[in-house]
Amino acid sequence: MTRSRTVGRYAPSEIEKKWRERWAADGLYRAPDDDPRPKFYYLTMLPYTSGDLHIGHWYAMAPSDVQARYWRMRGYNVLFPMGFDAFGLPAENAAIKQNIHPYKWTMDNVARMREQLKSMGAIFDWEREIISSDPDYYRWTQWWFLQFYKHGLAYRGQAPANWCPSCQTVLANEQVLPSGQCERCGTPVTKRDLEQWFFRITKYADELLDHSKIQWPERIATMQKNWIGRSEGVEIAFGLDAPGVEEKELRVFTTRPDTIHGVTFMVLAPEHPLVEKLTAADKRAEVEAYVEAARRQSEIERLSTEKEKTGVFIGAYCKNLLNGEDVPIFIADYALLWYGTGIVMGVPAHDQRDFDFATKYGLPIKTVIAPPGYQGEPLEAAYLEPGTMVNSGPFDGTPSEEGKTAVAEYIEKQGWGKRTVGYRLRDWLISRQRYWGAPIPIVYCERCGIVPVPEDKLPVLLPEDAEFRPTGESPLRLHQGFVNTTCPQCQGPARRETDTMDTFMCSNWYFMRYIDPRNSERPFSRGLARKWLPVDQYTGGAEHAVMHLLYARFFTKAARDMGVVEFDEPFLRLFNQGTIIAGKAKMSKSRGNVVAPDEYVARLGADAVRVYLMFIGPWEQGGEWDDSGLAGVSRWLNRVWNLVLSPVETASLPDAPATRELRRLMHKTIRRVTEDTERFRFNTMVAALMEYTNGLTRAKEAGSVDAGAWRDAIDTLLLLVAPSAPHLAEELWARTNHGYSIHNQSWPEWDEELAREEEITLVVQVNGKLRDRLQVPAGVTEEQAKELALASARVRTHTDGKQMLRVIYVPGRLVNVVVR
Ligand SMILES: [Zn+2]
Ligand SMILES: [Zn+2]
């Protein structure tokens, strides 16, 4: 039979829109709550409403959609929702710059981005869309705040905050670049003391270190572990006896109790409250000037390893209880009040920073851990390795690793301190002095103090008519109608909290809202939570490692302890895609190398852009955008089109070798595409599809093909292409007389037996004597055959240690190795 149909031209602009409208009208990709199929919650990070959808969004979302579609064809009820992260500084900054209201700016962007997202042809369930700046959403963000407050996980505290003088706002540590600049605008960050709201993430530090219940990339787990920074050590008191000072000790945390005998100075953070009390009269002016200077520096600057360490002796001493020595007290900006106790002991012999400091200020350097061969000579640099304790009284001669425990036990016995665990992680500062965020649902009453807004009074609406330009104060503070309220407890006059919440609060729980987005009684129903949560597969950028991905884990664990959810981890599996670059550089507006997907979609179709992005390189590594690469992919889709629709000469040849070969190619390809798709190896998955197309083209050109095998081969091609190029596959499925829709078909299965290469037996000789027989693929090359023969253990016992003269290959039959 010969198909005689006009092939027509592959015109993506004509077919893509048509199918998208049909899919939407039919609700084809809806994930019903009452579906009997097993659930699969697939989630890609929701976009920030920053303007146009750029190629980075496509790069994160299109391959995610391919995998979500794959699981759908594998019989799962796949939930793949989409929404918008809509609160936050960029909206406000852009709005200020363009002089339009953040609400309008944001909603305009949402409308545009929604259409752009739809052009991707993804299976997003738009009925579940959420917008985090929508009162129906942030009402529940506020509800969550109240739960944290109720459970003692939200508290108000005074804290030196990272302050960006340009953005006029407090920044989280994560928003300060390593250079000490504001992540958003590049201005050097300074410090400011403010009364703000914190979330007690430190309470979960230990549990957050445990990634054993989730399959995440190792590097993300490592980044989180480093960020949390757990260290075991000892908190020990140093005696204080200063006239007129109430405090009788300084408490210090150290991970090196074995070196306490080597303390020769003590450093207080310049902001430490004891500095003022302890400073001697003749040091006061110098100390005050130093404190002032330190306050102007960012934390990153203060901790920088390159920066020369400075300090000032405050004219006071404390006592090392272990050896009775008096220790001079300094202030230095590298000691931070909010790290540990804000006091650091100086052990110059065994810490390089302390060594430099002691050298600079002429302080003694006392070796207490002897390096191998130590004869009492002065150290050239700090000795950091283990050794033997010396100059340490009763501990002399103890190996330092044992000494850690021995000294710690001694200190505990004496009542001078205790073993404890220190963390680098600090509580999460969630207050923002900006307008475009969810208001914190708290009221301050002169009589009752801090009063939470009752849950049935939520949402606390963000007033639309606020003056939102940054002044250094919360814009809402200037809005009398918002600020002045009545106390929910005593009905007296009260003031509202005027800070808004960090937008990471919104993204902490958005994946929970998708499962029940229109619920007006609760953030989501328990039954639906049990059905859908947690997320099975999450995809997104690694840049969120210590922010969103850590906060969401904390949030989930806290929600579990509140009894709101019944699982421990929000995202069971995580995959981080790489970055798309252009012209060897990261895309940015200033470089002018931003790739706008819309133009390419209009010209070559969404399918071509989708497939090209997967083909560009290993997904986790990213790759370089190249127009000619995209054109190549577009040509391949054209070849698929022509291959499927152009006439083919068929006959009944079920047992012909060519038919067997065709079937083998098909089963091999199904196996490769399946395995690659599951393992996020999208580039090799596309390559397998291209090779398959080439193989089918060759078979077709070689003469008549078996009708049944050809039909199976073409159907399989379309099914395998369907997740990657959903529009093209749907069109070709319809044109090859199949019913609607290909996207409701099952994923094809391969037969291991049929996929197996035909094999031949290769005889291997050494000096003409039979030494081994190898089963090798029929298509083995000379090079492969020789390599396999020489690698055989049985052959190697006769060749090892001998001189190889030559290797003779008789194609398809024999390898003879000649040795002497
Ligand atoms: Zn800034
Ligand atoms: Zn009151």
Enter the tokens of residue 202.
């430190």
Spatial contact of 272 and 362, defined as CB atoms under 8 Å apart: no
Give the gyration radius of the chain's Cα atoms.
Answer: 34
Mean pLDDT for 598-607 is: 96
| CA 434 / ligand 1 centre spacing (Å) | 12
More confident residue, 143 or 242: 143
pLDDT digits (tens, 9 = 90+) for 376-388: 999 999 999 999 9
Show Cβ contacts of residue 585 under 8 Å, excluding neighbours closer than 6 positions.
Answer: 591, 593
Q: Taking all residues of the chain, what is their mean pLDDT, rounded to a whole number?
A: 92
Mean pLDDT for 362-375 is: 94
CA distance 686 to 725: 11
| CA 490 / ligand 1 centre spacing (Å) | 40
| CA 493 / ligand 2 centre spacing (Å) | 7
Mean pLDDT for 206-219 is: 97
More confident residue, 736 or 777: 736
| CA 453 / ligand 2 centre spacing (Å) | 11
pLDDT digits (tens, 9 = 90+) for 674-701: 999 999 999 999 999 999 999 999 999 9
Ligand nearest to the CA of 177: 1
Any idea which of 175-184, 272-281, 393-402, 597-606 has the lowest mean pLDDT?
Answer: 175-184
Which amino acid, one-letter code, is at 144?
Answer: W
| CA 303 / ligand 1 centre spacing (Å) | 20
Mean pLDDT for 696-720 is: 96
| CA 47 / ligand 1 centre spacing (Å) | 21
Question: Omega before 166 cis (within 30°)?
Answer: no
Task: For residue 245, count other CB atoms closer than 10 A to its CB.
Answer: 12
| CA 196 / ligand 2 centre spacing (Å) | 20
Ligand nearest to the CA of 167: 1
Ligand nearest to the CA of 449: 2
Q: Which pLDDT belongs to residue 296?
A: 72
More confident residue, 589 or 644: 644
pLDDT higher than 80, residue 663: yes
Beta strands 39-44 and 535-541, pairing class:
parallel
Spatial contact of 460 and 453, defined as CB atoms under 8 Å apart: yes
Enter the tokens of residue 577.
């895609």
More confident residue, 244 or 96: 244
> pLDDT band at 3, cuts 50/70/90?
very low
Ligand nearest to the CA of 491: 2
Enter the tokens of residue 418.
């205790």
Smallest CA-to-CA distance from 508 within 556, 450, 542, 454 is with 556
Q: Which pLDDT belongs to residue 304?
A: 64
Mean pLDDT for 45-55 is: 90
Any idea which of 10-14, 45-49, 757-761 has the lowest mean pLDDT?
Answer: 757-761
Q: Which pLDDT belongs to residue 424?
A: 87
CA distance 403 to 712: 73
Q: Is the pTM of this model over 0.85?
A: no
Spatial contact of 58 and 625, defined as CB atoms under 8 Å apart: no
Mean pLDDT for 290-310 is: 74
pLDDT higher than 70, residue 298: no
Any idea which of 170-179, 430-439, 466-475 has the lowest mean pLDDT?
Answer: 466-475
Enter the tokens of residue 147.
């739960």
Q: Which pLDDT belongs to residue 764?
A: 94
Q: Which pLDDT belongs to residue 107?
A: 94
Ligand nearest to the CA of 190: 1
More confident residue, 434 or 60: 60
| CA 488 / ligand 2 centre spacing (Å) | 7
Q: Which pLDDT belongs to residue 600?
A: 96
> pLDDT band at 6, cuts 50/70/90?
low
Q: Which pLDDT belongs to residue 193?
A: 76
pLDDT digits (tens, 9 = 90+) for 457-479: 999 999 988 887 666 568 898 89
Ligand nearest to the CA of 434: 1
pLDDT digits (tens, 9 = 90+) for 626-656: 999 999 999 999 999 999 999 999 999 998 9
Q: Which pLDDT belongs to residue 470?
A: 60
Spatial contact of 803 and 773, defined as CB atoms under 8 Å apart: no
pLDDT higher than 80, residue 233: yes
Q: Which pLDDT belongs to residue 1?
A: 42
| CA 78 / ligand 2 centre spacing (Å) | 49
